[in-house]
Structure 1
Amino acid sequence: MSTLTGKTALVTGASRGIGRAVARRLASEGARVGVHYARDETAAEETVAAIEAAGGSAFTLRTELGVPGDADALWRAFDEHAEGLDILVNNAGIAGPGLIHEVSEADYDKVFAVNAKAPFFIIQKGLGRLRDGGRVINISSGVTKVAFPGMISYAASKGAVEILTLTLAQTLGSRGITVNAVSPGTIETDIHPWMADPAAKAHAAGFSVFDRVGQPADVADVVAFLASDDSRWVTGQNIDVSGGSGLGI
């Protein structure tokens, strides 16, 4: 029997990249997966098709994050397909490049609205649906580990997610719900088109002790562990999934 048989999961931003890999991995373990997306319906349907082709079960739900009422809209869409939740993966996020003097107030607000505010209220408004013994897994980033001036607003938003993770772990422990974060390093997805340049990709690979860039499956496998009963004694943690990036700094 697969480890997540009978469970229902929701993965935000699951139409591509890390989110798609997480959705497919959870489905391979038996979970029925809600594949959330904001705009790219074709990509979301491709995620579901891949899950179903492998014998799994999934459904799509479309809501834009980072706008007023986003959490309520997401849960209304979810409720059309499922009555309860066991695993919530807050993966959706946007980049926020720029040094501090280059970041506009509007850009800052957008990054925090999607990366920090949306997960906060998705969790808050989903607690009534999340079953005791459930799992909340927040995708953070390796940019919180070192000074990264060129992504200052993004890094700050992910720092907020990590504190949210720590605090909620204590709050929800009485219900047997674990809350953890996962912090990927550089992952090869379509949101990093610069990796098409072999020199740039090789430079990024050099940050890892394994001398390669990460793949979405590297992150998805760790998320699957945190979603399973094997992680029942792990909560309030931020697991580095960067291939040892920065160990020599």
Structure 2
Amino acid sequence: MIHHASHRTAYFEEHIMSQTETKRVAIVTGASRGIGAEIARRLARDGFAVAVNYASSAKEADAIVAELREAGGAALAVKADVANADDVRRMFATVEAQLGPVDALVNNAGVLKAVPLADTSDALYDQTFGINVRGTFNTLREAAARMNNGGRIVNFSSTTLALNMPGYAIYNATKAAVEAFTHVFAKELRGRGITVNAVAPGPVATSLFLDGKTDEQIATFSKMPPLERLGQPDDIASVVAFLVGPDAGWVNGQVLRANGGIA
């Protein structure tokens, strides 16, 4: 009887553990298209339940979620303007309620419009800093209070910061701020087991990069890296997957330039 009881107890304990096991949960901001959508796909393949954040592209976000669910993953579309602190708090609360506490945060949302500093309007300045800097600040602050210990945070900088090209002063200033957040925040989370890193992509073939450029400009950018091509969204998604995965457990407070050797 004791023998059978011990087996029965072991079975129920194992069953309960399997029932309570949950997927790791990731929030990817700006994930309705481009690099963000590819990151969502990759993290879902890697076993994450993925919250697809969007600001206005509901149709595209819903399509990504449907795609991930059809492939057997757990996914959720969450509308939030990352520049709005209340929206960010609601986003985390929604994700926690429907998917579980957050294990990975990927701050992919961003805007870019290349304009000379002297020609930059107040509105463009506010929008660029609002999304790129305040948006990252809002999600980091919320993650500090709510993210699981042992989590992973990946911010987005840009290789344009190293190139100092005319027209990119305001955008570069926002990415310099993001890199500063990354280096300091990694140290402020001491004792939590949370890593904070940044990815700095080179030119990647997405609408964010391609819109507003001539074919000649695109061809010029394509030839700049020694690898002589534009990056693809999956090039960046692979780097993010590494940084949020088990193999990057000793990488913290770093900026990884994924740019084909352009800088």
**TM-score, normalised by the number of residues in structure 2:** 0.86
Per the alignment, residue 25 of structure 2 pairs with 8
Moved more, 169-178 or 59-68: 59-68
Per the alignment, residue 69 of structure 1 pairs with 86
The answer as to whether partners of 2:47 and 2:73 remain within 8 angstroms in 1 is yes
Structure 2: gaps spanning 5 or more residues: 1-21
Matches within 5 A, 1:1-249: 6-67=23-84, 69-194=86-211, 198-246=215-263
* 1:99 Cα deviation from its structure 2 partner: 1.2
Give deviations 1:158-209, integer Å, cap 9, x for gaps.
1100010000111113111000000001110133445996533321111111
* 1:118 Cα deviation from its structure 2 partner: 1.4
Moved more, 72-81 or 50-59: 72-81
Between the aligned partners of 2:217 and 2:209, the Cα distance in structure 1 is: 11
Q: SS where residue 124 of structure 1 aligns? A: helix
Amino acid at match of 1:225: F
CA RMSD of aligned residues (A): 1.8
* 1:110 Cα deviation from its structure 2 partner: 1.6
Moved more, 122-131 or 212-221: 122-131
Moved more, 43-52 or 189-198: 189-198
Identical positions, percent: 38
The answer as to whether partners of 1:96 and 1:108 remain within 8 angstroms in 2 is no
Structure 1: gaps spanning 5 or more residues: none
Between the aligned partners of 1:66 and 1:111, the Cα distance in structure 2 is: 10
Moved more, 124-133 or 34-43: 124-133
Q: SS where residue 211 of structure 1 aligns? A: coil
**TM-score, normalised by the number of residues in structure 1:** 0.91
Q: SS where residue 8 of structure 1 aligns? A: strand
Moved more, 130-139 or 103-112: 103-112
The answer as to whether partners of 1:185 and 1:241 remain within 8 angstroms in 2 is yes
Between the aligned partners of 1:8 and 1:212, the Cα distance in structure 2 is: 33
The answer as to whether partners of 2:133 and 2:175 remain within 8 angstroms in 1 is yes
Which has more radius of gyration?
A: 2
Between the aligned partners of 1:62 and 1:123, the Cα distance in structure 2 is: 18
Between the aligned partners of 1:73 and 1:209, the Cα distance in structure 2 is: 44
The answer as to whether partners of 1:27 and 1:57 remain within 8 angstroms in 2 is yes
Amino acid at match of 1:18: I
Between the aligned partners of 1:173 and 1:207, the Cα distance in structure 2 is: 39
